[in-house]
């Protein structure tokens, strides 16, 4: 199995979710199943069916998180020294050359991506266009609205 990059913060978030699922959600759904069983006939028991479905989802998510954490390569941006180039986990300040709008994005793994928090996935068009570039370079991004040109103003490893 190949390794998947993830930031240190992203790995911590996945670990917290895993702990919550194992310590709170799993025991709660087990209790819900036991309670539904106590109501009698399981063939027409909607509570039992719902609890079993939720249990299936929780177990699937636990397996998914364990797999992701087991195959992840944790990258701490503070320890990077990419000589000013845009790499995974770096934070990049950009200026849209058409509108003059300035934005800042951190390049993160798929599970961490959140545009509202200025975190873009390594697989996104803007991240792919920036990888390997440095401050002062112009990148062309193919967006749904057409081509956008951005100038890289600064690259930070924080």
pLDDT at 19: 97
Domain ranges, ordered by start, for the chain: 4-75, 77-156
Q: What number does CATH give the domain 4-75?
A: 1.10.287.180
Assess whether pLDDT exceeds 80 at residue 2.
Answer: no
d(CA 158, CA 7): 11
Assess whether pLDDT exceeds 60 at residue 117.
Answer: yes
pLDDT at 1: 55
DSSP code per residue over the chain: ---EEEEHHHHHHHHHHHHHIIIIIHHHHHHHHHHHHTTS-STT-HHHHHHHHHHHHHHHHHHHHHHHHHTEEEE-GGG---TTB--TT-EEEEEETTT--EEEEEEE-GGG-BGGGTEEETTSHHHHHHTT-BTT-EEEEEETTEEEEEEEEEEE--
Assess whether pLDDT exceeds 90 at residue 116.
Answer: yes
pLDDT at 141: 92
Predicted confidence (pLDDT) per residue in 25-79, tens digit? 999 999 999 988 887 777 777 888 899 999 999 999 999 999 999 999 999 888 8
Give the mean pLDDT of the chain: 91
Identify which has the larger pLDDT, 19 or 82: 19
Cβ 82 vs Cβ 91: under 8 Å = no
The CATH architecture of the domain made up of 77-156 is Roll (3.10)
Q: Is 15 left (phi over 0), alpha (psi -120 to 50) or beta?
A: alpha
Band the pLDDT of 146: cuts 50, 70, 90.
confident
Q: pTM of the entire structure?
A: 0.79
Residue that the structure tokens 């370079």 belong to: 137
């Amino acid at each position: 199995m190949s390794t998947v990059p993830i930031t240190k913060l992203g790995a911590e978030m996945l670990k917290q979710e895993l702990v919550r699922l194992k310590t709170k959600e799993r025991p709660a759904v087990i209790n819900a199943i036991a309670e539904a069983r106590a109501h009698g006939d399981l063939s027409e028991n909607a509570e039992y069916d719902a609890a079993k479905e939720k249990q299936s989802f929780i177990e699937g998510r636990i397996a998914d998180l364990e797999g992701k954490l087991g195959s992840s390569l944790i990258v701490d941006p503070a320890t990077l020294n990419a000589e000013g180039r845009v790499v995974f986990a770096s934070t990049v300040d950009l200026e849209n050359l058409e509108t003059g709008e300035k934005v800042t994005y951190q390049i993160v793994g798929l599970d961490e991506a959140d545009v509202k928090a200025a975190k873009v996935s390594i697989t996104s068009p803007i991240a792919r266009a920036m990888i390997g570039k440095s401050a002062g370079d112009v990148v062309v991004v193919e967006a749904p609205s057409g081509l956008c040109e951005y100038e890289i103003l600064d690259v930070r490893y924080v």
